[in-house]
Structure 1
């Protein structure tokens, strides 16, 4: 009897430990995933100046075979894709990155001159702004000049892939009050982890292949806060389909995010037959013994708040 009692205590303690470990895993993954989303949504649609620019001139050649509207369009700093029904939503986030590199001198023709350690490479998508004008362009060639003291960006038309459609409509107007930035395109979605076969939060950076960022994220639902009167407050939240229908992506100032996160191990005593509410969508996951938890957050797009 004593041996049996000790065995029962051991099994009970082991189950308690497994349950606690699974709960800790969910909490860690939920915090990590939501933290990553929060950081990138807050920084989306940054174009070198406080608030938003009235317009950005995009010189990348949209007629070229290598032009990808998702990667090179940049018309929308924030753009969602509705999964439909209980299918996970996806999200595109676009922005200029870094603190910017000051232009060395008045830009001439198809050239922009920067300090030697500019950090740009052939084929990058550059962004230049003086907070009055703003231009996106394909960097065909990066060269060192003035005995290494200057880096020259060549944005000549019809060179490289996709290249620029025209060389310099506005680029020649920039002087030392302008800065040049690199650009960043981030795609966030839910898909299968190729190592485990389980659902995960995936990210693709600048057109790269999807990579797993956080495992065991089973579903992501998104709603977009629309500021219809420019007072810095969202009057309503809508799905990506609804925002597309009204053409109000530029008025989106916040995003509601809901994640369903599961444990790796099946530690429940019984099957999980629960349903989970992610915003306005009810999710009924596989009836297994894994723990699950919903994480919800409303995230402001910092660069759209005046």
Structure 2
């Protein structure tokens, strides 16, 4: 009996060594769990940032591609003259020049060619690209009796006073502003359109659209668009660089023979395609494991944002042969 009592007494409680071993094992397990949690959290943060960056990149390229490929579109063919009653001296109405780019190579805010008036707060070191084209939503008209007749639409439309439009057929085109819409629905313009257009002519809105990079109210860079004289609108956040190379057709075969930046383009009429590169960054500044240094707004910036570049070559449909 005494032997059993002594045995039970020796097995009562846990020694200090056992407690310390258990604590060490517990700490190791907790450290492992914490490491797994941190790893999963980091992976989730990177995956979420990458998904947002890729989505923004796709949307930004979609906006640019849609408008750039339509550069110079004013009707059924490109090989006819445009009678521009608005005058080509105004940047907004220079419809004879269907495309123009601006390059700030050194990030000093000195774009070549110079930026149009009214375009402000553009991020230095980024490109600006302007395209002029009709929107493609065609409206049919009643036949005109003379070149100075008011234009009478015969299909449903949403045109308004002040809109800039182009009237075209397969022979010529005329751009004019709608000064008034009379009681019969005729578009009053007060101009000589060069000819009396037939009933098969197409009437479309035409506009100058400019794409550029600017910071929004939150201080984040974004892709912006300005249509005509309207206020610029933010399209896609996170785009911090836009770089464009212009495909030059040197032998009139409709294909690009060389690509040049905007400040090296001699004749915009020779541009048949564009190679557009966008750099898109994450909103969060704690995504990547190591910091990265990039050029932004004329300076070197170091942060831990996730960045990705997107490049697309866009052919101008109106220049294809």
What TM-score do you get using the length of structure 1 for normalisation? 0.83
1:229 matched to which residue of 2?
251
Change (3 A) 1:274 1:105: closer
Work out whether residues 59 and 236 of structure 2, in 8 Å CA contact, stay in contact via their aligned partners in 1.
yes
1:57 matched to which residue of 2?
83
The offset of 1:206, in angstroms, is 2.1
Cα offsets for 1:89-117 (capped at 9, x unmatched): 00111111233212212244341122162
Work out whether residues 103 and 112 of structure 1, in 8 Å CA contact, stay in contact via their aligned partners in 2.
yes
> Which has the higher mean CA deviation after the structures are superposed, 178-187 or 267-276?
267-276
2:232 matched to which residue of 1?
210
Q: Which runs of structure 2 are paired with 1:15-26 in the superposition (5 Å)? A: 15-26=42-53
Change (3 A) 1:139 1:274: closer
Q: Which runs of structure 2 are paired with 1:266-305 in the superposition (5 Å)? A: 266=285, 267-273=287-293, 286-305=301-320
Task: Tell me if 1:10 matches 2:37.
Answer: yes
- Considering fraction of residues, name the structure with more strand: 1
From 167, 177, 189, give the equivalent of 2:212: 189
The offset of 1:169, in angstroms, is 4.8
Task: Tell me if 1:100 matches 2:138.
Answer: yes
- Output the CA distance in 2 between the equivalents of 1:152 and 1:96: 20
2:189 matched to which residue of 1?
155
- Output the CA distance in 1 between the equivalents of 2:243 and 2:193: 41
Q: Helix, strand or coil: the match of 1:234?
A: coil
The offset of 1:4, in angstroms, is 3.0
Greater Rg by CA: 2
The offset of 1:275, in angstroms, is 7.7
Work out whether residues 94 and 186 of structure 1, in 8 Å CA contact, stay in contact via their aligned partners in 2.
yes
- Output the CA distance in 1 between the equivalents of 2:278 and 2:159: 36
The offset of 1:274, in angstroms, is 6.4
Stretches of structure 1 lacking an aligned partner (at least 5 in a row): 63-67, 146-150, 157-166, 277-282
From 121, 139, 142, give the equivalent of 2:160: 121
Change (3 A) 1:169 1:14: closer
Q: Helix, strand or coil: the match of 2:68?
A: helix
Give the count of matched residue pairs: 274
From 23, 26, 29, give the equivalent of 2:56: 29
Work out whether residues 245 and 274 of structure 2, in 8 Å CA contact, stay in contact via their aligned partners in 1.
yes
From 279, 284, 300, give the equivalent of 1:260: 279
Q: What root-mean-square deviation, in Å, do the aligned CA atoms of Structure 1 and Structure 2 show? A: 2.1
- Output the CA distance in 1 between the equivalents of 2:219 and 2:55: 20
- Output the CA distance in 1 between the equivalents of 2:68 and 2:239: 18
Cα offsets for 1:161-191 (capped at 9, x unmatched): xxxxxx2151x42121212111122110011
Q: Helix, strand or coil: the match of 2:290?
A: coil
- Output the CA distance in 1 between the equivalents of 2:256 and 2:208: 25
The offset of 1:284, in angstroms, is 7.9
Work out whether residues 116 and 144 of structure 1, in 8 Å CA contact, stay in contact via their aligned partners in 2.
no
